[in-house]
Amino acid sequence: MANEELNPNEPQQATGAEEQTVEEVVSETAEQNAAASDVELEAEVTEETTTDADAEKLAQDLASAMAEIESLKDQMLRIQAEAQNIRRRAEQDVEKAHKFGVEKFANEMLPIVDSLERAIETFGDDETLKPMREGVEMTMNMFLSGLEKFKMEQVNPKGEMFDPALHQAMSMIPVPDTAANTVVEVMQKGYMLHGRLVRPAMVIVAKG
């Protein structure tokens, strides 16, 4: 018979077109799976790269913050040290003001003491002038006593070795049986205030 009827219960043979379609489906499925794997791998790599970048940025931020903290600590220490220096200088200035506040006044009084000393030398040993000499000596001693209350000390180096830090040599003369650089005469006494030289003693020194 030319046209045979197909029995639905018999297995049908796949045509070439149908076989090609199955192969294409399998190939397309494999390609899709591979593409999906590539996408997942790329996502994992991107996520890992992003994580590393974030960690590196955090490390840089932490290092920057630590450096800033150290800088601020250093500035704080410098400010504290400067404040201590300022306070120390202020305390020293106050102490000096207390100690040497009378220096100018004392310097004005020294010529008076010098004049009294010269007056006593002028009186000499004249007995008729003794009461006047004693009165002048009493006045001078009162002056010196008042100066001593403010830590003003007299420098009278006769017989001592010459000290350029305390004495001013006016001349040098040969003196027999006297060591060189010995103060043999005090022309004007010196004075110190709280251990600081206010006026050097004017002296004559033995020549070696």
Amino acid sitting at position 25: V
What does the DSSP 8-state code read for residue 196? E
Task: Quote the pTM value.
Answer: 0.56
On the question of pLDDT at 162 being above 60, the answer is: yes
Distances (CA, A) of 11 to 7, 8, 18, 129: 9, 8, 15, 168
On the question of pLDDT at 118 being above 50, the answer is: yes
Q: Which residue has the higher pLDDT, 42 or 111?
A: 111
For the chain, domain boundaries: 27-100, 102-150, 152-208
Q: In the chain, what percentage of residues exceed pLDDT 70?
A: 75
152-208 maps to which CATH number?
2.30.22.10
User: What does the pLDDT read at residue 31?
Assistant: 62
Q: Among the listed ranges 30-44, 53-67, 89-103, which one has the minimum average pLDDT value?
A: 30-44
Cβ neighbours for 122, distance < 8 A, ≥ 6 positions apart: none
93-110 per-position pLDDT tens digit: 887 777 777 788 888 889
User: What does the pLDDT read at residue 155?
Assistant: 93
